[in-house]
Structure 1
Amino acid sequence: MFTQKPLPSVLKGPRITLERHSSSLAPTMFATIDANREHLQFMPWTQFTKTAEDSKKWIDVTLAEWDNLSLFDYGIYFEGRYVGSAGVHSINWEFKNCELGYWISKEFEGRGLISEVVKLLESACFKQGFHRVEIRCAGFNEASARVALKNGYKFEGELREDSLINGVYRSTKVFGKLRREWESSP
C-alpha cells in the first residue's frame, strides 16, 4: 500500500547533503540567488525574489507545503556551503508521480553535483512508492536536459510554448523515469 508521508528531511550523498529549509537560511538563499541572477534569469521565480524577506516568505511556503505533503524543497549543501536548491513538486499522490526541480550556483555547475541531487531525490521518491518521476526543463536548457539523459530519464517530448516566463513564451522538454527503470539501473 502506498502511504502518503513526507520524504526524509535530510538526504546524504557522497559529496552533497540535501536538507529541508529552515527560516534562518533566508539571507544566505537570497544572497546566492542575487549573486546568480543572470545565471538564473530564466527561472520564473527570480523576478519575485528581490529581498531576503522574499526568500524567507518562500521558505515559509515550502515548510507549510512540506507539512501538507505537496512539496519537498531542500537546500543543496556542498562542503557545508549552501549552493542551490532542489525539490520534489507537482506531486500527484493518486497516480504516484512527481517532478524534480533544481538550481545550482554557476560556480558549482559542471561538477556532477546536480546528478547526485537527482539520484538522491529519485531514490527517496521511488523508495517512498512513487511510480514515475519527471524532470522538466526549458526547451533551450541543454545542461538540464543532459542531466536528465545522463541519469537515465527518457525524453518524452516537448510542450511547445506552454509557459509564459517574463513575457516570453517558452517550450518545455519532458523527461521521465519509471520505478521499474530505476530498479533495474546499476
Structure 2
Amino acid sequence: MLSQKPLPSALNGPKVSLEKHSSALAPEMFKTIDANREHLKNMPWIQFTNTVEDSKKWIDVTFAEWDNLALFDYGIYFEGKYIGSAGVHNIHWENKNCELGYWISKEFEGRGLISEVVKMLESACFKQGFHRVEIRCFSFNDASARVALKNGYKFEGELREDSLVNGEYQSTKVFGKLRGEWMKSQDSQ
C-alpha cells in the first residue's frame, strides 16, 4: 500500500538542493522568471506570470496543493541561489504514478543540474512507494528529452497535438521509468 504522505520539504544533492517554496521567495522567483521570459516562452504558465504578486499566488497554490498531497513543488538552488523550480505533479496515488516537471534559468543549462534534480525527485518518489514516474515534454524540447533519456527513462510515445500553447497545438513526448528499473540502477551504483 502506498503511503499517502508529503515528500520531504528539502532534498540535497551533490551540486543542487531542492526546497519547498516559501512566501519570501516570490520576488526572486518572479525576477528569475522575468529574466528568462524568452527562454520559458513555451511554458503554459508563463503568460500568467507578469508580477511578483502572480508568483506569490503560485506559491500559495503550491502550499495548498502540498497539503492536499496533489503537488510537491520545489525551488532549485545552486550555490545558494534560486535558479528554477521542479516538482512532482499529476499524482495518481491509486495507480502509484506521478510526473516530474522542471525549468531552469538559461544560464544554468548544460551543467547536469536538471539531471541531478530528476535523480533526487525520482528517488524520493520511488522510496515513497510510487511504481511509475513520467517525464513529459513538448516534442520540440530536445533538451528535456535528452534529460529523460540520459536518466534512464524509456521513450513511450508521442501524444499528437494534445496541448494548445500560444495559440498553436503542440505534441507531447512521454518518457517513463518503473520502480524495478530504478531499483536495478541503484544496485549497479
Report TM bin, short chain: over 0.9
SS of the equivalent of 1:121 reads helix
> Equivalent residue for 1:158?
158
SS of the equivalent of 2:3 reads coil
Q: Tell me which amino acid in the other structure corresponds to 2:92.
A: N
SS of the equivalent of 1:100 reads strand
> Equivalent residue for 2:136?
136
1:2 CA displacement: 1.5
Q: Tell me which amino acid in the other structure corresponds to 2:79.
A: E
Q: Tell me which amino acid in the other structure corresponds to 2:30.
A: F
Identity of aligned residues (%): 82
Q: Tell me which amino acid in the other structure corresponds to 2:127.
A: K
Distance 1:26 1:168 in 2: 30
Q: Equivalent residues in 2 for 1:14-163 (5 A)?
A: 14-163=14-163
SS of the equivalent of 1:94 reads helix
Distance 2:2 2:66 in 1: 18
Listed one character per residue, the Cα deviations across residues 26-84 of structure 1 (whole Å, up to 9, x for unaligned) are: 00000000000000000010000000000000000001100110000000000000000
Identify unmatched segments of 5+ residues in structure 1.
none
> Equivalent residue for 2:9?
9
Identify unmatched segments of 5+ residues in structure 2.
none
Q: Tell me which amino acid in the other structure corresponds to 1:98.
A: C
Tell me which stretches of 4 or more aligned residues in structure 1 moved more than 3 Å: none
Q: Matched residue pairs, number? A: 186
User: TM-score, normalised on structure 1?
Assistant: 0.99
SS of the equivalent of 1:44 reads coil
Q: Tell me which amino acid in the other structure corresponds to 2:56.
A: K
1:166 CA displacement: 1.2
Distance 2:87 2:127 in 1: 16
Distance 1:140 1:3 in 2: 36
1:181 CA displacement: 0.1
Distance 2:36 2:173 in 1: 23
Q: Tell me which amino acid in the other structure corresponds to 1:29.
A: M
User: TM-score, normalised on structure 2?
Assistant: 0.98
